[in-house]
Chain A
């Protein structure tokens, strides 16, 4: 089976740092994606990890531990526009993406 868990909602303050965790159990693993999705819009790509470790890209970083089935997305210097849903998705063999339920992040001033 497959199971991807992430918190339902998080709230953080503008300028702060927030970490969104994702744990997964899947049969077949070919990497992990993080997407950002604003309401009523399609997901936009944030990061992809296939090897253990931290990938940094500007204000966003993503970490993966394959042995622990764990990933997190780190957002620094939060801005109001970062308020969105963040989706963790596992890439399985056959290029199929399995999405978590998403974490709604609310950034307050």
Chain B
């Protein structure tokens, strides 16, 4: 149980375009989802916290107009990187927690490359 999927697993896009990444909890309802970014040889940095039916809470330094997060249902959150630039190339990972408990279940990650 407690499986989280991400789609796509990797994506290459051109500078200036937008990319949408989906995060789904497959066998549980996720009241809260988190989005992280990880640059090579660095640790995970929390970008935002997403609660179903409400606006996402962004961490300091993360542009909310550039990284649009939608948590429309208890099993799906999406991250859209708008007007992507090469410096947005990174590994994006989502995680989810259920109604009970605190453990975060991580998705497999999405490798974004902006050319």
Contacts and interface: CB of A to CB of B under 8 A. Distances in A.
Contact of B44 (A30, A43, A48, A95): A43
Contacts of B105: 45
Interface size class of B (residues with CB under 8 A): 20 to 34
Interface in B64-115: 91, 93, 95, 97, 102-109, 111
Given A40-B91, A45-B103, A87-B44, A97 B34 contact: yes
Given A95-B32, A95-B97, A97-B104, A41 B46 contact: no
Given A42-B93, A42-B106, A102 B49 contact: no
A40 B106 contact: no
Interface residues of A, number: 20
Contacts of A44: 106
Contacts of B54: none
B57 to A, nearest CB: 9
Interface secondary structure of A, over-half rule:
loop
B102 A95 contact: yes
A42 B108 contact: yes
Nearest to B32: A95
Interface in A19-77: 30-31, 40-45, 48
Contacts of A84: none
Interface of B: 32, 34, 42-46, 49, 91, 93, 95, 97, 102-109, 111
Given A40-B109, A43-B106, A95-B97, 13 more contacts: A40-B111, A41-B109, A42-B93, A44-B106, A45-B103, A48-B103, A87-B44, A94-B49, A95-B32, A95-B104, A96-B34, A96-B49, A97-B104
